[in-house]
Amino acid sequence: MASMSEFRRVADEVRNWGRWGDDDELGTLNFITPEKVAEAASLVKRGAVIPLGGDFSAGGPQGAFKFRQNPTHVMTVDGGDASTLVQYGPEWLRNAVAGDVSAFFADNPFRFNDDMVVMPLQAATQWDAISHVYYEDKLYNGFPADSVTSFGAFHLGIEKVDVKGITSRGVLLDVVKHRGAEVFLEPGNPVTPAELDDIARAQGVAIAAGDIVVVHTGWWTRFLSTGDGAEPGSGLDWTCASWLHDHDVAAVAADNLMVEDPDPANGVEGTFLPMHMICLRDMGLMFGEYWDLGALAADCAADGVYEFQLIAPPLKVVGAVGAPVSPIAIK
Ligand code: UVW
């Protein structure tokens, strides 16, 4: 376990505050230039579209924490309204509840279904906005922590990143394959910066400025077979923050809950999720979590190509500190 003074040394070294201006709200997404977007598009050779989004459903991974639940999906208009309720429902119900719908359905063949969902924005495949995590009363770029209010984030909300897509060159680093793990990385052995370098070398791929690094730990594949969202797994060692900084990475995503290894024994004395603290708050680097990387890993292993065009725009929920996303990799 590292000391708090080591944590502070690293945080000071990688802090990007002021680097792109005092009012910057994009952080390391600034590494994604128009040239980078064009380069990413040039990686499309086969027209293969690989979805990286998990399901948003009652069978999702939430439940391990009481403050996050799985989505509740409710139909607000459906075929039953047309065939049963509107025709046979008691008059008071037709007037009170289905009045609106019965007006639509009267004397014409047009029918429709509608629905709504209630869920935490972190329910499944998501981006953490850089306002998601902070410490000592400051968000990225020195914005005050109390600028995130019950009305939402006045700074660094997820809607601010729309100007970057988010799209760039994606690079998969497949730790599962590199370690020869059966399915996923068991707790207790976080991925170090040296291992990330070894994996990139073994895969014949180099990380460049503006890349979005996508880390395959196998956790989501494991979850799909067990349905156990509370099962612990491993992830990046917190010192990978410096590796991401040194490579001018635009964002990092993984197929697990936290990107980083959550075991306090591998972290920093006296705190929790130190990589979140440094990356989001000091570097302004977003985390993608719960991405489904099984098909992408299989495709990359088959053709030996670990780079692709990544397209991953979050839902533009104004003032949100994270948002669902259905990313796609195109090769
Ligand atoms: C927290 O850091 C609390 O959550 P997440 O892993 O979703 O970023």
Beta carbon of 292 within 6 Å of any ligand 1 atom? no
Task: Output the domain CATH number for residue 220.
Answer: 3.50.30.50
Report in angstroms the alpha-carbon separations of 89 from 85, 96, 151, 186, 282.
4, 11, 40, 55, 59
From the CA of 219, how far away is ligand 1's center (Å)? 15
The helix or strand, by DSSP H or E, that contains position 275, with its residue range, turns out to be helix 274-276
Boundary of a domain, candidates 88, 118, 148: 118
The helix or strand, by DSSP H or E, that contains position 168, with its residue range, turns out to be strand 167-174
The helix or strand, by DSSP H or E, that contains position 87, with its residue range, turns out to be helix 86-88
The CA dihedral of 38, 39, 42, 44, to the nearest 10 degrees, is -100
Q: What is residue 85's predicted lDDT score, i.e. its pLDDT?
A: 72
Please report, in tens digits, the pLDDT of each residue of the chain (331 residues total).
999 999 999 999 999 999 999 999 999 999 999 999 999 999 999 999 999 999 999 999 997 778 899 999 999 888 887 777 767 777 776 665 555 676 677 677 888 899 999 999 999 999 999 999 999 999 999 999 999 999 999 999 999 999 999 999 999 999 999 999 988 999 989 999 999 999 999 999 999 999 999 999 999 999 999 999 999 999 999 999 999 999 999 999 999 999 999 999 999 999 999 999 999 999 999 999 999 999 999 999 999 999 999 999 999 999 999 999 999 999 9
Q: Measured between alpha carbons, how far is 135 from 271 in angstroms, rounded to an integer?
A: 10
Q: What is residue 82's predicted lDDT score, i.e. its pLDDT?
A: 72
The helix or strand, by DSSP H or E, that contains position 330, with its residue range, turns out to be strand 328-330
Question: How many other C-beta atoms can be found within 10 angstroms of the C-beta atom of residue 105?
Answer: 20
Beta carbon of 281 within 6 Å of any ligand 1 atom? no
Kindly state whether residues 135 and 239 are assigned to the same domain: yes
From the CA of 132, how far away is ligand 1's center (Å)? 8
From the CA of 111, how far away is ligand 1's center (Å)? 41
Phi, psi for residue 164 in degrees, rounded to 5: -105, 0
Q: What is residue 102's predicted lDDT score, i.e. its pLDDT?
A: 66
Kindly state whether residues 81 and 57 are assigned to the same domain: no
Beta carbon of 123 within 6 Å of any ligand 1 atom? no
Kindly state whether residues 285 and 259 are assigned to the same domain: yes
From the CA of 258, how far away is ligand 1's center (Å)? 6
Beta carbon of 273 within 6 Å of any ligand 1 atom? yes
Q: What is residue 157's predicted lDDT score, i.e. its pLDDT?
A: 98
Q: What is residue 80's predicted lDDT score, i.e. its pLDDT?
A: 80
Kindly state whether residues 266 and 302 are assigned to the same domain: yes
Kindly state whether residues 139 and 214 are assigned to the same domain: yes
Kindly state whether residues 168 and 304 are assigned to the same domain: yes
Extract the runs of DSSP E, i.e. beta strands, from 263-315. Answer: 286-289, 307-311
Kindly state whether residues 265 and 179 are assigned to the same domain: yes
From the CA of 39, how far away is ligand 1's center (Å)? 31
Kindly state whether residues 184 and 292 are assigned to the same domain: yes
Best of 238, 255, 257, 277 for a ligand 1 pocket test (most atoms within 8 Å of beta carbon): 257
Kindly state whether residues 54 and 88 are assigned to the same domain: no
From the CA of 105, how far away is ligand 1's center (Å)? 45
The whole-model pTM stands at 0.95
Q: In sequence order, what are the beta bridge partners of 173? A: 215
Q: What is residue 296's predicted lDDT score, i.e. its pLDDT?
A: 98
Q: What is residue 266's predicted lDDT score, i.e. its pLDDT?
A: 92
Domain that holds residue 17: 4-66+120-330
Going by C-alpha positions, the residue among 110, 108, 111, 84 that lies closest to residue 97 is 84
- For the chain, the C-alpha Rg in angstroms (whole number) is 22
Kindly state whether residues 39 and 184 are assigned to the same domain: yes
Q: What is residue 97's predicted lDDT score, i.e. its pLDDT?
A: 58
Domain count, the chain: 2
Q: What is residue 96's predicted lDDT score, i.e. its pLDDT?
A: 59
Best of 69, 128, 275 for a ligand 1 pocket test (most atoms within 8 Å of beta carbon): 128
Phi, psi for residue 141 in degrees, rounded to 5: 65, 15
Kindly state whether residues 153 and 232 are assigned to the same domain: yes
Boundary of a domain, candidates 118, 135, 156: 118
Kindly state whether residues 80 and 61 are assigned to the same domain: no
Q: What is residue 178's predicted lDDT score, i.e. its pLDDT?
A: 97
Task: Classify residue 175 by burial, with Cβ atoms within 10 Å: 0-12, 13-18, 19+.
Answer: buried
**Residue located nearest, by CA, to atom 6 of ligand 1:** 258
Q: Report the atom number in ligand 1 closest to the C-alpha of 259.
A: 6
Going by C-alpha positions, the residue among 212, 161, 164, 168 that lies closest to residue 316 is 161
Q: What is residue 327's predicted lDDT score, i.e. its pLDDT?
A: 98
From the CA of 171, how far away is ligand 1's center (Å)? 23
Q: Measured between alpha carbons, how far is 155 from 145 in angstroms, rounded to an integer?
A: 9
Boundary of a domain, candidates 92, 118, 144: 118
